[in-house]
């Protein structure tokens, strides 16, 4: 190499190193570095890029314990999600998972809820109950409409519970609660049809197509203890039929298989809730669920594109990546 070229490279590296030192070690602004060295700010920017390329600077990010940024990124890339939030949870009991993912969901809502959104809230989800219980009041009114998207009338305590979670969420975000005063599962198709023309039921259902943020639990075919206590469940024979037809999970009592395809049976005509297809209309459809027994239900929800944001625990996330 000719001596003059070698000297030029040495001086170039000297400048690159000087710029990198001032920027990374002395925390000076690019504009100040440009003024100090009598070069343009564009030259400073190019020097910083070269500093990385020439290994003058090596940037590392040390993730705190319990933070899974890479795993979240991997889930989004593999499954086409808009976002994934993965929380640490060594205890695989349902209660521990509900608490951890509920807390993460609460922070997600507090930090991302926009003004004047239409929020769809599923009634019979322990993870959503944990979310609401973990939330702090927003400092600024969101003016959100908070719509109950799954019927809550059932056992005597059911209406109180469903109304409370919707009302509490609306109060926390300084929004308006809109209730769905109907059972999750009507006793007959005739009763379902009669309820659908009730003006209060109709008002809530009219808003389903306008929902911008859907917050939903993901259920297995076998109902949770919370759902069973509400009275909004199918009989044992009906659940057997769903299993035989390949159902692995549900959102708002709308069942689907492991590939995300809806499992349509006459039971679907008795459910009073948001339809799966309406979830796709929401800009953000957030599934909040975790635990080994829900793996197939979560996979189906993602495969069907019924959710585009997933909030789960790290063990469930690892299982999803390893399948």
Contact, 252 vs 274, CB < 8 A? yes
pLDDT at site 261: 97
Instruction: With beta carbons less than 8 A apart as the criterion, state whether 263 and 255 touch.
Output: yes
Q: Where are the domains of the chain?
A: 3-53, 69-322
Residue 41: what pLDDT?
94
The per-residue pLDDT for 7 is 43
DSSP conformation letters of 119-156: EEE-SS-HHHHHHHHH----SS----EEEE-B--BSSH
Q: With respect to CATH, is domain 3-53 assigned 1.10.3470?
A: no
User: 69-322 adopts what CATH topology?
Assistant: Rossmann fold (3.40.50)
Dist. CA 117–CA 142, nearest whole Å = 8
Q: What is the pLDDT along the chain (323 residues), one digit of tens a residue?
A: 444 444 455 678 888 988 998 999 999 999 999 999 889 999 999 999 999 998 888 887 766 667 899 999 999 999 999 999 999 998 888 889 999 999 999 999 999 999 999 999 997 788 998 999 999 999 999 999 999 999 875 565 555 566 788 999 999 999 999 999 988 888 899 999 999 999 999 999 999 999 999 999 999 988 766 666 665 567 889 889 999 999 999 999 999 999 999 999 999 999 999 999 999 999 999 999 999 999 999 999 999 999 999 999 999 999 999 97
Secondary-structure percent of the chain, ordered helix, strand, coil, rounded to 5: 50, 15, 35
């Amino acid at each position: 190499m000719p001596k003059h070229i070698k000297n030029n490279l040495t001086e170039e590296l000297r400048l690159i190193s000087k710029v990198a030192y001032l920027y990374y070690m002395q925390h000076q602004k690019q504009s100040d570095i440009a003024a100090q060295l009598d070069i343009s700010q564009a030259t400073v920017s190019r020097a910083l890029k070269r500093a990385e390329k020439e290994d003058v600077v090596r940037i590392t990010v040390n993730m705190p314990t319990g933070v899974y940024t890479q795993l979240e990124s991997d889930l989004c890339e593999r499954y086409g999600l808009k976002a994934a939030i993965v929380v640490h949870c060594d205890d695989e009991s349902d209660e521990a998972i509900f608490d951890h993912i509920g807390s993460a969901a609460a922070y997600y809502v507090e930090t991302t809820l926009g003004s004047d959104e239409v929020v769809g809230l599923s009634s019979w989800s322990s993870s959503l109950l944990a979310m609401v219980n973990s939330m702090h009041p927003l400092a600024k009114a969101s003016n959100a409409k908070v719509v109950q998207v799954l019927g809550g009338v059932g056992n005597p305590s059911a209406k109180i519970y469903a109304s409370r979670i919707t009302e509490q969420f609306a109060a926390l975000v300084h929004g308006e609660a809109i209730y769905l005063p109907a059972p999750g599962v009507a006793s007959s198709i005739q009763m379902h049809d009669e309820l659908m023309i009730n003006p209060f039921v109709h008002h809530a259902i009219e808003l389903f197509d306008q929902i911008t943020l859907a917050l939903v639990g993901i259920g297995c075919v076998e109902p949770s203890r919370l759902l069973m206590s509400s009275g909004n469940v199918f009989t044992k024979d009906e659940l057997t039929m769903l299993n035989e037809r390949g159902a692995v999970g549900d959102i708002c009592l709308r069942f689907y298989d492991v590939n995300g395809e809806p499992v349509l049976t006459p039971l679907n005509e008795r459910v009073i809730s948001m339809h799966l297809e309406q979830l796709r209309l929401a800009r953000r459809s957030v599934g909040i669920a975790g635990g080994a027994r829900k793996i197939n239900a979560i996979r189906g929800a993602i495969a069907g594109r019924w959710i585009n944001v997933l909030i789960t625990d790290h063990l469930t996330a690892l299982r999803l990546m390893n399948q």
